[in-house]
Amino acid sequence: MSIKYDAYFVSPYGDVIPISTDRHIHEIMAYPEKFGLTTKEIEAIYKKHKEPMGTEGNAREEIMADLIKQGWGRVRYISKNDAFIYQIFILNKRQKENIYDWAKLVIKNGGASKYAGISIFEISPRGGITQGTLDDVVRYKIFEDDVNESRKIRPSKAMVFIEDYIARKK
């Protein structure tokens, strides 16, 4: 069975969260505890920016940027390009491992072709863009020196998470 999502969050610990709502911000608002937030905190940010809850303005940008700075990855699929955009704060070893786990899951569960593109955007001040395909990620061609070699042998925590999530959706 093929499982296809157009957007994901990846936690700082590698948990893959497929977006079940139409926007990343709506997922945060629907399940704030997943992201270490409360509804009151989200409301306060929207109030500070004088924006209606759930709109895609400055409040949403602040919330997203704060989560990404805390180690969250924000992923969305652009169908016309057959490519994913993966936003992170900085491309360190932990993020590389999270990206590897996520890419492997998406391919394994039929969510994308291994030839789909990926552009990894760092939003840190030093910034940077890393590009390739999902196959480049899972075959260690993009950042092979930094991905934990044990990932080649045993499934990660993220694999167990998404497989459990998919089983519950059946």
Percent of the chain with pLDDT over 70: 82
- In angstroms, the Cα distances linking 45 to 23, 50, 55, 61, 126 are 18, 9, 12, 10, 26
Question: Could you tell me the pTM of the whole model?
Answer: 0.81
Q: Is residue 75 part of a domain?
A: yes
Give phi and psi for 130, each to the nearest 5.
-115, 130
Give the count of domains, the chain: 1
Q: Is residue 120 part of a domain?
A: yes
State pLDDT tens for residues 44-83: 999 999 999 999 999 999 999 999 999 999 999 999 999 9
Q: Is residue 109 part of a domain?
A: yes
pLDDT at 145 over 80: no
pLDDT at 156 over 70: no
Q: Is residue 2 part of a domain?
A: no
The reported pLDDT for the residue numbered 4 is: 66
Q: Is residue 1 part of a domain?
A: no
What is the domain extent for residue 87? 7-169
The pLDDT confidence band at residue 87, using thresholds 50, 70 and 90, is: very high
